[in-house]
């Protein structure tokens, strides 16, 4: 915390009654559950009822998938025994940013870190630090943010608290050494002097004293965590002589107020009905009026008359404002730097639905203008993606951090009533010193040791190189690989199959390396319908020894539609609409279709993983289908010959 002497020299003051902190962790290490407990114990919301848990994950997809997709802020008001002791105030406002744990949503993490003065790092008491832990820690150290380590889920039966703390400290030491080369202002001594809190977010308990492995923290509430936050996260500093500077870090919408800009005030005071300068990304300035100012209280936004330095508020009245822009003084505008995020690594094409079954869903959005407008809208609030034109006016290339992030975007559009054609994900390459380079991923895999051979073989086929392997002593092994990002396209399904659903795999971006060569994504072909019609049970009974079907009997199909997976490594055109010839002779026994194997229904992510290079995914509000890019069989044969001749020449 800044000393009085330092304040006198720099001319800055502190908001002792305020703390801004982000909670970061790997997927499923308990961030959102811990925030729920903080809200409950400060009486900001009703608490852990059976249907009230994970209240911060309010989105429909977040609830379904059990992950955080968008960074969200909430405010708790702490007036416990440590408020006066640590902050010199009767009540301390703590703004908490709940960030995603998946590396594909890293842009949300970077936005969250731009709003805070400290980081609470959650690490699972059994799994320890994983790839996303490394990613968010590196970002926090680059921003010179102090870190509080919280070992969560100490009551897990397989908890190994000592080992997890040791692993995390080793990770901190390694990252601090790397970051110090890029950030000479980093204080290595303070980085390694990290306070440790032991917690069970689900039980709402925390302790400074380490509990036994598999035991609950001794304290019956989260007071030790609040005390540590007040003690180790510095109060926001500001210059009392500086003009207004408020940075837009997120966007929201209200049915009554329109677009809301969420921003952190770094200097000055923002007031309702105030006229300010809106500093845009293109360098221009515009005079705007703050028609409404909203502060956060628990889970709600409430009207406010003014807000000061360090506060995180929402403003209305600026319809076109974007993330990264600044509200500043009219007479002496001083914009803040834009938010910088890592470059995209994965891309895929998104365009209008061009299949023969397009437009069948009543009220669906099918025009190129509607798709383009929706992608433009996504650019406003999602700093992690880019939308680029293609050689077709009804199709665009969308680039993002990972396959999951792009699949989430398509799924959201599908639920909003769009019909789309989505191409197979590809990697975003770049040329460095005249050589083609591709993005790499550092992958960590935890799995039972009996699957080590299968995992090693699977990764080798995707050009993965093993860096380290460790046996935890509990029958599980941890392997770390360096693998091309494109090698992870379609990896998840095969990995879960090979490990019987027991393996855990996660990764983060790890720079660029020279192109690693061709990768075979799957060793099976597709069953492709050779004509339009309706799938018949008779045809499916005769074809089911060829592979697995994706369609139900009596489902409408069209030429070029992928109706199943061939057991052989080649595509096969099939007549799935064939009907039994009728005669005037009665069979000795009636036809029985009881032996027809139920079809496999692929989700959107599984469909994107399954699709081959010459295939794409048709997405409608009611159906997800895989199809050939070129539907006509003779045209596909001509294209295949051209590719073969080009390869030979």
The whole-number pLDDT of residue 27 equals: 66
Domain that holds residue 82: 13-234
The whole-number pLDDT of residue 5 equals: 34
Residue with token string 């009533």: 417
Q: Considering only CA atoms, which of 586, 549, 588, 577 is closest in space to residue 565?
A: 549
* Residues near 250 by beta carbon (within 8 Å), at least 6 away in sequence: 71, 73, 111, 261, 262, 323, 381
Q: Is 68 in contact with 59 (CB distance < 8 Å)?
A: no
The whole-number pLDDT of residue 633 equals: 87
The whole-number pLDDT of residue 48 equals: 41
| Residue 333 placed within a domain | no
CA distance 157 to 559: 54
- Does residue 529 share a domain with residue 510? no
- For residue 55, pLDDT over 60 is answered with no
CATH of the domain at 194: 3.40.50.300
Asked if residue 155 belongs to a known ligand binding site, the reply is yes
Asked if residue 394 belongs to a known ligand binding site, the reply is no
| Residue 334 placed within a domain | no
Strand partners, 465: 482
Q: Considering only CA atoms, which of 252, 226, 176 is closest in space to residue 76?
A: 226
CA distance 476 to 455: 13
| Residue 1 placed within a domain | no
Asked which of 479, 514, 549 is the last residue of a domain, the reply is 514
- For residue 11, pLDDT over 60 is answered with no
| Residue 4 placed within a domain | no
State both tokens at 26.
């790997």
* Residues near 465 by beta carbon (within 8 Å), at least 6 away in sequence: 481, 482, 483
Strands 556-557, 561-566: pairing is: unpaired
Strands 561-566, 547-549: pairing is: antiparallel
CATH of the domain at 436: 3.30.70.240
Q: How far is CA 383 from CA 109, 119, 399, 440, in A?
A: 11, 21, 11, 21
252-261, 412-421, 505-514: which range is least confident on average?
252-261
- For residue 398, pLDDT over 90 is answered with yes
How confident is the model over 595-634, as pLDDT tens digits?
788 888 888 888 988 888 889 999 999 999 999 999 998 8
- For residue 589, pLDDT over 70 is answered with no
The whole-number pLDDT of residue 195 equals: 92
Averaged pLDDT for residues 257-282: 88
- Does residue 596 share a domain with residue 564? yes
Q: Is 337 in contact with 296 (CB distance < 8 Å)?
A: no
Cα-based angle 217, 218, 221 (whole degrees, multiple of 5): 80
The whole-number pLDDT of residue 243 equals: 92
Asked if residue 523 belongs to a known ligand binding site, the reply is no
Q: Name which residue leads in pLDDT, 575 or 14.
A: 575
CA distance 69 to 65: 10
Q: Helix-strand-coil percent breakdown of the chain, rounded to 5?
A: 25, 30, 40
CATH of the domain at 531: 2.40.50.250
Asked if residue 154 belongs to a known ligand binding site, the reply is yes
- For residue 549, pLDDT over 90 is answered with yes
55-64, 300-309, 446-455, 593-602: which range is least confident on average?
55-64
Q: Is 252 in contact with 321 (CB distance < 8 Å)?
A: no
CA distance 33 to 73: 14
- Does residue 135 share a domain with residue 283? no
| Residue 3 placed within a domain | no
CA distance 271 to 269: 7
- Does residue 195 share a domain with residue 271? no
3-state secondary structure of 141: helix
Asked which of 328, 359, 391 is the last residue of a domain, the reply is 328
Q: Considering only CA atoms, which of 213, 210, 209, 204 is closest in space to residue 156?
A: 213
- Does residue 113 share a domain with residue 227? yes
Asked if residue 88 belongs to a known ligand binding site, the reply is no
Asked which of 301, 328, 355 is the last residue of a domain, the reply is 328
The whole-number pLDDT of residue 54 equals: 44
* Residues near 41 by beta carbon (within 8 Å), at least 6 away in sequence: 204, 221, 222
Asked if residue 152 belongs to a known ligand binding site, the reply is yes
- Does residue 322 share a domain with residue 351? no
359 φψ region: left (φ > 0), alpha (ψ -120 to 50), beta (else): left
Q: Name which residue leads in pLDDT, 231 or 105.
A: 231
CATH of the domain at 381: 3.30.70.870
| Residue 5 placed within a domain | no
State both tokens at 476.
């599980």
The whole-number pLDDT of residue 9 equals: 37
3-state secondary structure of 408: helix
- For residue 82, pLDDT over 60 is answered with yes
How confident is the model over 475-522, as pLDDT tens digits?
888 889 999 988 888 787 788 888 887 887 877 778 889 998 888 777
How confident is the model over 200-253, as pLDDT tens digits?
988 999 999 998 888 899 889 999 999 999 999 999 989 988 999 999 887 777
- Does residue 199 share a domain with residue 58? yes
Asked if residue 453 belongs to a known ligand binding site, the reply is no
- Does residue 255 share a domain with residue 219? no
- Does residue 177 share a domain with residue 279? no
CATH of the domain at 278: 2.40.30.10
Cβ contacts of 172-181, under 8 Å, gap ≥ 24: 172/137, 172/147, 175/134, 175/137, 175/138, 175/141, 176/141, 178/138, 179/138, 179/141, 179/142
CA distance 378 to 428: 20
Domains in the chain: how many in total? 5
Q: Is 113 in contact with 139 (CB distance < 8 Å)?
A: yes
- Does residue 152 share a domain with residue 30? yes
Dihedral of CA 349/353/356/357: which sign?
Answer: positive
3 state SS for 222-240: CHHHHHHHHHHCCCCEEEC
Burial of 37: CB neighbours in 10 Å, binned 0-12, 13-18, 19+: buried
- Does residue 182 share a domain with residue 224? yes
- For residue 4, pLDDT over 70 is answered with no
Mean pLDDT of the chain: 83
| Residue 335 placed within a domain | no
Asked if residue 29 belongs to a known ligand binding site, the reply is yes
90-99, 337-346, 462-471, 581-590: which range is least confident on average?
581-590
Burial of 448: CB neighbours in 10 Å, binned 0-12, 13-18, 19+: middle
53-67, 205-219, 252-266, 336-350: which range is least confident on average?
53-67
Strands 547-549, 205-207: pairing is: unpaired
CA distance 478 to 170: 16
The whole-number pLDDT of residue 368 equals: 94
3-state secondary structure of 370: helix
CA distance 507 to 586: 61
| Residue 337 placed within a domain | no
- Does residue 581 share a domain with residue 529? yes
**In the structure, what pLDDT confidence band is assigned to residue 7 with cuts at 50, 70 and 90?**
very low
Residue 358: CB atoms within 10 A of its CB come to 16
């Amino acid at each position: 915390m800044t000393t009085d002497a330092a304040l006198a020299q720099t001319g800055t003051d502190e908001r002792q009654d305020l703390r801004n902190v982000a909670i970061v962790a790997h997927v499923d290490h308990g961030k959102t559950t811990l925030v729920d407990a903080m809200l409950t114990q400060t009486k900001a919301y009703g608490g852990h009822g059976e249907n009230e848990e994970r209240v911060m994950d309010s989105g429909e997809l977040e609830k379904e998938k059990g992950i955080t997709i968008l960074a969200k802020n909430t405010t708790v008001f702490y007036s416990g025994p440590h408020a006066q002791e640590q902050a010199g105030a009767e009540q301390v406002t703590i703004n908490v940013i709940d960030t995603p744990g998946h590396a594909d949503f890293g842009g949300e993490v970077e936005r969250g870190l731009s709003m805070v003065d400290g980081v609470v790092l959650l690490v699972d008491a059994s799994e320890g630090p994983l790839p996303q832990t490394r990613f968010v820690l590196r970002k926090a150290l680059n921003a010179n943010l102090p870190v509080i380590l919280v070992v969560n889920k100490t009551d897990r039966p397989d908890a190994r608290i000592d080992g997890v703390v040791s692993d995390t400290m080793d990770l901190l030491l390694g990252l601090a050494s790397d970051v110090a080369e890029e950030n000479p202002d980093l204080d290595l001594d303070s980085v390694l002097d990290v306070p440790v809190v032991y917690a069970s977010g689900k039980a709402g308990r925390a302790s400074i004293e380490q509990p036994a492995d598999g035991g609950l923290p001794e304290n019956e509430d989260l007071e030790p965590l609040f005390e540590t936050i007040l003690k180790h996260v510095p109060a926001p500093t500001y210059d009392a002589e500086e003009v207004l500077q408020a940075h837009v870090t997120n966007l929201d919408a209200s049915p009554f107020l329109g677009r809301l800009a969420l921003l952190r005030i770094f200097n000055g005071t923002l007031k309702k009905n105030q006229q300010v300068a809106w500093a845009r990304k293109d360098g221009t300035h515009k005079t705007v009026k703050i028609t409404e100012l909203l502060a956060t209280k628990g889970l709600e936004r409430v009207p406010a008359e003014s807000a000061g330095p360090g506060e995180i508020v929402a403003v209305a009245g600026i319809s076109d404002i974007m993330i990264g822009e600044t509200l500043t003084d009219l007479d002496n505008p001083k914009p803040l730097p834009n938010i910088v995020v890592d470059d995209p690594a994965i891309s895929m094409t998104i365009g209008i639905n061009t299949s023969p079954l397009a437009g069948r869903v009543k009220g669906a959005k099918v025009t190129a203008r509607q798709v383009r407008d929706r992608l433009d809208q996504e650019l406003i609030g999602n700093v992690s993606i880019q939308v680029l034109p293609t050689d077709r006016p009804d199709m665009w290339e969308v680039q993002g951090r990972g396959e999951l992030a792009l699949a989430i975007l398509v799924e959201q559009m599908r639920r909003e009533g769009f019909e789309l054609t989505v191409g197979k994900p590809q990697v975003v390459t770049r040329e460095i010193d005249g050589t083609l380079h591709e993005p790499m991923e550092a992958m960590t895999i935890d799995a039972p040791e009996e699957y080590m051979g299968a995992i090693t073989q699977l990764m080798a086929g995707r050009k993965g190189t093993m860096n380290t392997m460790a046996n935890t002593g509990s029958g599980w092994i941890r392997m770390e690989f360096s693998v091309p990002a494109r090698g992870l396209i379609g990896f998840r399904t095969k990995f879960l199959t090979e490990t019987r659903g027991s393996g855990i795999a996660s990764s983060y971006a790890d720079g660029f390396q020279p192109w690693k060569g061709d990768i075979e994504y799957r060793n099976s072909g597709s069953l492709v319908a050779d004509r339009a019609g309706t799938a018949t049970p008779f045809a499916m009974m005769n074809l089911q020894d060829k592979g697995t079907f994706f369609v139900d009997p009596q489902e409408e199909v069209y030429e070029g539609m992928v109706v199943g997976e061939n057991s052989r490594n080649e595509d096969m055109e099939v007549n799935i609409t064939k009907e039994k010839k009728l005669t005037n002779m009665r069979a000795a026994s009636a036809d029985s279709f009881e032996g027809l194997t139920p079809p496999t229904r692929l989700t959107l992510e599984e469909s994107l993983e399954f699709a081959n290079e010459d295939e794409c995914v048709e997405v409608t509000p009611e159906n997800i289908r895989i199809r050939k890019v070129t539907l006509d069989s003779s045209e596909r044969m001509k294209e295949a010959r051209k590719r073969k001749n080009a390869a030979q020449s």
